[in-house]
């Protein structure tokens, strides 16, 4: 599609409308520099963009603040241990991001000169896709780059009334975003478009009365902007079943629970969890418990992953200390400090279920 043929508004006019609005209405975010200020450090831009993938600003903000307080520079993050970073990431979800985060931090530290400045060089770093590379190039380094996330796609789809269903429309939407991205202040323009999408041109009930692009917006002129972008029907999400095993023993300093470390690659890769029966995205769990019973069911916890949902039954070992328990592979963690173990959300809920059932006592 020829973007210029679709363009109802001159690129200079679109940029001016967005930037004027952004100068007055920019969100204050922990990783952002106010309009007109020197750009933020590339490390902070990159870290925030990785965290914000499929996650809201409200959820990300405390994680970002903890990460930057603990590891203020990319070199310090690069020097951190895998398990240390995975534990700090626990609860943020999409754990492949944390593995990519470490790989990228170590690649940047190895360069010895910080993050590269151009979009192409940024794309060569581990785990940096087109969106993140463009965002860092534009926001941190003032490069002209076309930054297109879900919010920007929605604004552009409505501005140009793109009726082609997603995800096939992504290429068209990027071309149209390119057509209105200015040469100067591309980073502020991108953040302005994101803010318009987040707070004005929202998925439902868009606030057209306060939108800076309301005048030239084709979807508004057609009377139903909320219908765009057109979403493709999602296939049904498979439902899986599994079990998690809560096993405790009396250690030198009090009661301890058995944790295991998942393989570095794959679902929840590198995370500390309770032992489970081998459930996955492709099949129910069917594995035997780590030791013979007695076992007591504590109830179920549920969790929705990207491609499947899981009903996890929590099973509590109700026997006494024995040589078989002491021989189990894993790490014995103090039950009183389970909140510090860095468990992913699913296993936090499983631990809470076991503790509510009496999993801290003999």
List, by residue number, the catalytic residues.
Answer: 49
Cβ contacts of residue 306 below 8 Å, gap of 6+? Answer: 94
Residue 187's nearest CA partner among 116, 242, 136 is 136
Distance of CA 81 to the CA centre of its chain: 20
Q: Is the dihedral of CA 150, 151, 154, 159 positive or negative?
A: negative
Give the Cα separation of 168 and 175 in Å (integer). 13
Q: Is the dihedral of CA 5, 8, 9, 15 positive or negative?
A: negative
Give the Cα separation of 273 and 327 in Å (integer). 18
Place of tokens 């902070």: 44
Please state whether beta strands 272-273 and 254-261 pair in parallel, antiparallel, or not at all (unpaired): antiparallel
Q: Is the dihedral of CA 85, 90, 96, 101 positive or negative?
A: negative
Taking CA atoms, 16 is separated from 70, 94, 192, 221, in Å, by 39, 36, 11, 21
Rg over alpha carbons for the chain, rounded to the nearest Å, is: 24
Residue 138's nearest CA partner among 197, 185, 193 is 185
Residue 236's nearest CA partner among 167, 304, 307, 303 is 307
């Amino acid at each position: 599609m020829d973007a210029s043929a679709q363009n109802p508004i001159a690129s200079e006019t679109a940029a001016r409308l967005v930037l004027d609005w952004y100068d007055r209405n920019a969100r204050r975010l922990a990783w952002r520099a106010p309009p007109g200020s020197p750009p933020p450090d590339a490390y902070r831009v990159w870290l925030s963009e990785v965290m914000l993938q499929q996650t809201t600003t409200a959820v990300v903000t405390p994680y970002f603040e903890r990460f930057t307080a603990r590891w203020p520079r990319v070199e310090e993050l690069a020097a951190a241990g895998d398990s240390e970073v995975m534990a700090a990431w626990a609860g943020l979800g999409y754990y492949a991001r944390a593995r990519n985060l470490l790989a990228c931090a170590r690649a940047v530290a190895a360069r010895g000169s910080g993050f590269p400045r151009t979009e192409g060089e940024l794309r060569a770093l581990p785990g940096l896709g087109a969106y993140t590379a463009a965002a860092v190039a534009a926001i941190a380094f003032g490069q002209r780059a076309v930054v297109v996330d879900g919010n920007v796609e929605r604004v552009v789809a409505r501005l140009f009334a793109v009726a082609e269903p997603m995800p096939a429309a992504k290429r068209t939407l990027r071309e149209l975003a390119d057509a209105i991205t200015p040469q100067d202040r591309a980073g502020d323009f991108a953040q302005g478009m994101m803010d318009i999408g987040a707070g004005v041109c929202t998925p439902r009930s868009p606030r057209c009365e306060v939108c800076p692009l309301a005048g030239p917006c084709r979807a508004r002129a057609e009377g139903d902007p909320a219908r765009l972008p057109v979403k493709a029907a999602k296939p049904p999400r498979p439902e899986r079943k599994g079990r998690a095993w809560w096993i405790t023993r009396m250690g030198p300093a009090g009661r301890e629970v058995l944790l295991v470390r998942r393989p570095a690659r794959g679902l929840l890769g590198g995370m500390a969890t309770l032992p489970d029966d081998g459930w996955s995205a492709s099949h129910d769990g069917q594995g035997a418990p780590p030791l013979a019973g007695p076992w007591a069911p504590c109830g179920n916890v549920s969790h929705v992953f990207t491609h499947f949902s899981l009903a996890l039954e929590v099973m509590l070992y109700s026997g006494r200390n024995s040589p078989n328990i002491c021989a189990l592979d894993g790490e014995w963690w103090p039950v009183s400090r389970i909140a510090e173990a860095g468990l992913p959300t699913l296993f936090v809920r499983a631990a809470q279920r076991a503790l509510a059932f009496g999993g801290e006592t003999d």
